[in-house]
């Protein structure tokens, strides 16, 4: 059990758990026929309505399920059930697609006996095709007892080109009560969040005021999910949905609560872990690339540089080719749009310093190449002399398999 210490007394424990570990949550998945063989319909249910927060793709062509979920949260501020399909995004599908998303919401609401405005809807997969609604409705009707739970089946049902399931669970003390936060996610390609083709579903039994919950999710998303990139493409469907049902019995958390920062750190741990799992599972990827920037003029500038490095196709292919080509890193810094008043920059590839005060220095290139060959997590460190801004972000290498996967995605 890994423990992350917060200050001197507070701790966050990563545990073996899933989105059904927080009290009162259930989940499952089945095959309804959107995909040929694999599970393709998943659901989450809470014993009681849960305060809800969400962030959505910034793509102007937001898919019908996002519009319906937005409406649910705007009306009720709470969500008690979530229905998700994979294999078909229900995006760019016009009025019919919107009606189909409403129909999914209505069918699942009827199944779990809650008002429609307490249901969120999500879809992921191919853009521009109408949902096979007869199969989806039949699938919803085949859901068994809503409390017969299998988080593993939910995790499988939301996948598209992912190669692994993604989950994280932590526990922490809030006002003397044990609180659990857990998440499940999918994402492998079209990843350049603000958001991209990724979905994340986070459950907690903490009692959190709804507006504070939205603030927490937005803050943490900017530090985690919005700091990953795989291929620079931003999709139409994606969102992070956070549900807090309050069954842990803690005093309501707000931004004024003495344990507010502790809750934020627990939420960040879950989101950062999921974000890193998404980045490392990039389509065709063999390595996670982590870029850390310090000494920037501002946090915004640090983020710009970080995203430029991990998003550079030249940096990504250099990592795949195990080439310690620091010139590609400095080039990305230069076009990032960040302010640079001096060029006293230090760059490290793993433990190897390759640039000092803006000038190349001798380093053991053969050992640096071995570092790139032998490590699945490649770290790049950039130290500027501009201020106190810092950021960390995650991406992956760019491989032959990425081209193969996306060249034949529909065929």
In this predicted model, what pLDDT tens digit does every residue of 139-152 receive, in sequence order? 999 998 777 789 99
Question: Which of 184-193, 206-215, 311-320: highest mean pLDDT?
Answer: 206-215
Question: Which of 275-284, 303-312, 391-400: highest mean pLDDT?
Answer: 303-312
In this predicted model, what pLDDT tens digit does every residue of 254-294 receive, in sequence order? 999 999 999 999 999 999 999 999 888 876 778 999 999 99
pTM, full prediction = 0.86
pLDDT category at 193 given cuts 50, 70, 90 is very low
- pLDDT recorded at residue 331: 95
pLDDT category at 61 given cuts 50, 70, 90 is confident
CA-CA-CA-CA dihedral for 53, 57, 61, 62, to nearest 10: -30
pLDDT category at 236 given cuts 50, 70, 90 is confident
pLDDT category at 58 given cuts 50, 70, 90 is confident
- pLDDT recorded at residue 223: 92
Domains of the chain: 2-280 (3.60.70.12), 288-407 (3.10.20.340)
pLDDT of 189 > 60? The answer is no
Cβ neighbours of 372 (radius 10 Å): 20
- pLDDT recorded at residue 59: 75
- pLDDT recorded at residue 48: 98
- pLDDT recorded at residue 405: 66
pLDDT of 359 > 50? The answer is yes
- pLDDT recorded at residue 2: 42
In this predicted model, what pLDDT tens digit does every residue of 90-112 receive, in sequence order? 999 999 999 999 999 999 999 99
- pLDDT recorded at residue 197: 61
pLDDT of 46 > 60? The answer is yes
Within 13 Å, how many C-alpha atoms sit on residue 13's CB side? 12
In this predicted model, what pLDDT tens digit does every residue of 364-383 receive, in sequence order? 999 999 999 999 999 999 99
Q: Residues near 244 by Cβ (< 8 Å), separated by ≥ 6?
A: 50, 51, 52, 53, 204, 205, 206, 207, 208, 213
Mean pLDDT over each residue of the chain, to the nearest integer:
90
- pLDDT recorded at residue 196: 38
Considering only 49-53, 58-62, 341-345, which range has the smallest mean pLDDT?
A: 58-62
pLDDT category at 188 given cuts 50, 70, 90 is low
Average pLDDT of span 348-357:
97
In this predicted model, what pLDDT tens digit does every residue of 156-177 receive, in sequence order? 999 988 889 999 999 999 999 9
Average pLDDT of span 111-129:
95
Q: What angle do CA 7, 12, 14 make, to 5 degrees?
A: 150
| Residues assigned a catalytic role | 197
- What is the β-pairing status of strands 377-383 and 288-296? parallel
- Report the C-alpha gap between 244 and 185 in whole angstroms: 17
């Amino acid at each position: 059990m890994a423990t992350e210490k917060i200050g001197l007394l507070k701790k966050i424990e990563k545990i073996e758990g899933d989105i059904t570990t927080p009290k009162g949550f259930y989940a499952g998945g089945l095959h309804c026929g959107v995909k040929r063989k694999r599970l393709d319909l998943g659901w989450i249910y809470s014993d009681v309505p849960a305060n809800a927060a969400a962030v959505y793709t910034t793509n102007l062509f937001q898919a019908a399920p996002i519009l319906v979920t937005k409406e649910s949260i705007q009306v009720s501020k709470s969500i008690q059930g979530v229905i998700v399909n994979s294999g078909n995004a229900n995006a760019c599908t016009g009025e019919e697609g919107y009606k189909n998303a409403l129909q999914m919401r209505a069918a699942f609401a009827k199944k779990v006996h809650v008002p429609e405005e307490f249901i969120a809807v999500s879809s992921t997969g191919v853009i521009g095709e109408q949902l096979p609604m007869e199969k989806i409705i039949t699938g919803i009707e085949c859901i068994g007892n809503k409390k017969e739970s299998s988080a593993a089946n939910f995790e499988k049902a939301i996948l598209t080109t992912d190669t692994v399931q993604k989950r994280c669970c932590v526990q922490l003390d809030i006002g003397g009560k044990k609180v659990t936060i857990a998440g499940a996610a999918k994402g492998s390609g079209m990843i350049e969040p603000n958001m991209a083709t990724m979905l994340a579903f986070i459950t907690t039994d903490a009692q959190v005021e709804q507006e504070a919950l939205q603030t927490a999710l937005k803050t943490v998303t900017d530090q985690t999910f919005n700091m990953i990139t795989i291929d620079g493409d931003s999709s139409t469907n994606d969102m992070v949905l956070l549900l807090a049902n309050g069954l842990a019995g803690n005093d309501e958390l707000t931004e004024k609560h003495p344990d507010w920062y502790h809750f934020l750190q627990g939420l960040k741990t879950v989101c950062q872990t999921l974000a890193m799992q998404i980045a490392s599972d990039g389509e065709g990827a063999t390595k996670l690339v982590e870029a850390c920037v310090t000494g920037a003029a501002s946090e915004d500038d640090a983020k710009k540089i970080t995203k430029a490095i991990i998003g550079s196709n030249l940096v990504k292919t250099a990592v795949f080719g195990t080439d310690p080509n620091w010139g590609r890193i400095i080039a990305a810094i230069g076009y990032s749009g960040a302010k640079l008043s001096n060029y006293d920059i230090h760059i490290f590839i793993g433990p190897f310093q390759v640039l000092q005060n803006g000038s190349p220095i001798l380093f053991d290139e053969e050992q640096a190449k071995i570092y790139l060959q032998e490590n699945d997590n490649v770290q790049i460190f950039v130290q500027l002399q501009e201020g106190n801004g810092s950021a960390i972000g995650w991406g992956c290498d760019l491989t032959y398999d990425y081209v193969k996967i996306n060249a034949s995605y529909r065929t």
